[in-house]
Amino acid sequence: MELEPPADPQNDPVTDLPHDPGKDRENDAGDAGPGGPAASPEAVTELLGVIGYAELTAALRLAADALTAPALDVRVWMGRASCTEFEHFERIVTRLRETGHDPETVLSPFAGPVDAFHERTRPRDWLEGLVKAYVGDGIARDFYREIARRVDAPSRELIESVLHVDAQDEFVVRSVTEAIEADPTVAGRLALLARRLVGEAIAQAQYVALEREALIDLLVGGQGDLGDLGRMFTRLIDLHGERMARLGLTP
The binding site for a second copy (CB under 8 A) comprises 1-4, 56, 59-64, 66-67, 72-73, 75-77, 79-80, 82-83, 86-87, 89-90, 104, 107-108, 168, 171
**Nearest residue (CB) to a second copy, 151 versus 162:** 162
Q: How far is the CB of 90 from a second copy (least distance, A)?
A: 8
* 72 versus 165: smaller Cβ distance to a second copy: 72
CB of 223 to a second copy, least distance (A): 35
Minimum gap (Å) between residue 87 Cβ and a second copy:
7
Instruction: State in angstroms the smallest separation of the CB of 129 from a second copy.
Output: 12
Burial code of 142-154, b = ≥16 C-beta within 10 A, e = fewer? bbbbbbbbbbbbb
Min dist. Cβ of residue 217 to a second copy (A): 27
CB closer to a second copy, 93 vs 247:
93
Our CB check for a second copy shows the closer of 56 and 232 to be 56
Residue placing its CB nearer to a second copy in the complex, 107 or 147: 107
